[in-house]
Each structure stands twice: as C-alpha cells, then as structure tokens.
A = this chain, B = another copy of it.
Amino acid sequence: MNAISDIGAGVGLLERLRIRAGHHTGPTAGLAPGNVQANLVILPRALAHDFLRFAQANPKPCPVLAVGDPGDPTLPGLARDLDIRTDLPRYRVWRDGVLVDEPTDIKALWRDDLVSFPIGCSFSFEQALIEDGIEIRHISCDANVPMYRTNIPTVPAGPFHGPLVVSMRPMKPADAIRAIQITSRFPAVHGAPVHIGLPEAIGIADINAPDYGDPVPIRPGELPVFWACGVTPQAVIAAVRPAFCITHAPGAMLITDLRNTSLAAL
C-alpha cells in the first residue's frame, strides 16, 4: 500500500528540488497538487519511542506516515529522493521548549540520533471533500482553519500527554454526513470527525474564539464539524519541553511523492 507512483514522484521531486535549492521558502499549499503533504516532528532517539507509542495510542490526531531511521535523513517509504534536512521550506528549532530559530535548512543541526516523524495532515482529506463539491469555509475565506483545545484527553505515553486539539469546518448537515463518509476513507490523515455540533460538549466555550488559526463564519443551517488535528502532537511536545526538537514551520509542509488518493482505505 501507499506505493509511490511515477506521477507522484515526478511532481514531488520537482517541488522538493526547488525548495532544496532555496527557491521557495513559503507555504506549500497548492504545490504538487494531489500529492500528500505532511507535518514534521524530529525528536532525539531518547524520546522517539515514547512519542511513537503516543502516536500509536492516538492515531486520529497523530497519524504517523513513516518513521525515519535514527540519523537517516531519507524516508524511502514516502519519496524516492528526499532529504529531510533541506526539503522543507522552513523549520522551527526548539530548545527546552523555546522556539530559537526558523531556518530554511537544518543540515548544521543534524545529529545521528534524530528521528523524523512525518504526520498526516488535513490537506489530503480537504482535497477529497473539495472534489466532491463540499465547500471548505476557511479556504473560501482565505484563512487558517480554526482549531480548539478540547476537554477530550489523549491517551498518555511516557512524558507525552495533553488534550486533543480539533480543527473545525462548518457544513450543512447533508454535506457533513457526506464529509464523514469521505474522511472515513482516509484514516492516515485524521480520518472521520471526532465530533459534530454542540461545541460546549467537548469543552469549547466560544466557537468564534479558536485557540489556534482564525475564526470562520458558521451560517444558519450549518453545523460545526470537528476533526482531530495535527496540532495535537505539536502541543503535546511543547508541553514536554524536550531539550531539542525540530518541527516544520506552520504551513511549510513536507511534500511527499505519495498521491492523496493512495491513502484511501477503501
């Protein structure tokens, strides 16, 4: 499964080479259309096993697409020619939980104990929704998706613990039902929603005041639909304040050679 296709490898490598050469340092939305893009977490080996246990126990917020070998900057399951140290437009470097730098490559920081975790992102399922004719409000509004800390706990593992963060997309009820069907096919990129309607039932006091991203309008006759969000592992890691950690910069994702359609479970 998730075999790399020629078309995916072609458009993926093209964009990664542009990024590797320093020609693109901004957001990746819209690049290599149809290819899977991923969140990235890089942790020292000492934390890697607990983080992978956390992901295994919380697959909806933390769908790990691959795990790098310690010190190995390639990810052969995701792309034919990939260097995780250079192929994202921008990184964030964290020391003791504090953001210390936002470089465009991390070659100088690479260590032989670093483990890469690309994590599925909602771009993939949003493409499937849009192709089915469902409006994605934050895209229509040219905004970031609104995200909220909930009162739903994640399953802890080692030092990693904290609340589930969800993203919200307002939809008419019939579209919400269709969106549940479509995203159920994509467990590798957060899968089906975790909640619908009734924000207060999951601890969201004000739907117009997201904890991350931008508020978007919910129109009469629409329900808020909530998906587990990849910000969850980022928030969980931030709370642990590891001595050293690297992530992607917001919006500057890892472009893989996988096609979104290849992630469909059905």
Binding site for B on A (CB under 8 A): 172-174, 176-177, 180-181, 184, 192-198, 201, 221, 223, 266
How distant is the Cα of A264 from the Cα of B196 in the complex, in angstroms?
A: 25
Is there an interface contact between B194 and A196, defined as CB atoms closer than 8 Å?
Answer: no
- Tallying the copies of this chain within the complex gives 2
**Among B177, B201, B221, B266, contact of A196 (Cβ-Cβ < 8 Å):** B177
**Among B172, B181, B196, B197, contact of A192 (Cβ-Cβ < 8 Å):** B181
**Among B181, B194, B201, B266, contact of A180 (Cβ-Cβ < 8 Å):** B181
Q: Is the interface of A mostly helix, strand, loop or mixed?
A: mixed
A180 cross-chain contacts in B, Cβ below 8 A: 177, 180-181
**Among B172, B173, B177, B194, contact of A174 (Cβ-Cβ < 8 Å):** B194
A176 cross-chain contacts in B, Cβ below 8 A: 196
How distant is the Cα of A95 from the Cα of B194 in the complex, in angstroms?
A: 50
| 11 A-B residue pairs with CB within 8 Å | A172-B201, A173-B201, A176-B196, A177-B195, A177-B196, A184-B184, A196-B196, A196-B223, A197-B197, A201-B221, A266-B266
A197 cross-chain contacts in B, Cβ below 8 A: 173, 196-197, 223
A266 cross-chain contacts in B, Cβ below 8 A: 266
How distant is the Cα of A215 from the Cα of B253 in the complex, in angstroms?
A: 50
A177 cross-chain contacts in B, Cβ below 8 A: 180, 192-196
Is there an interface contact between A196 and B173, defined as CB atoms closer than 8 Å?
Answer: yes
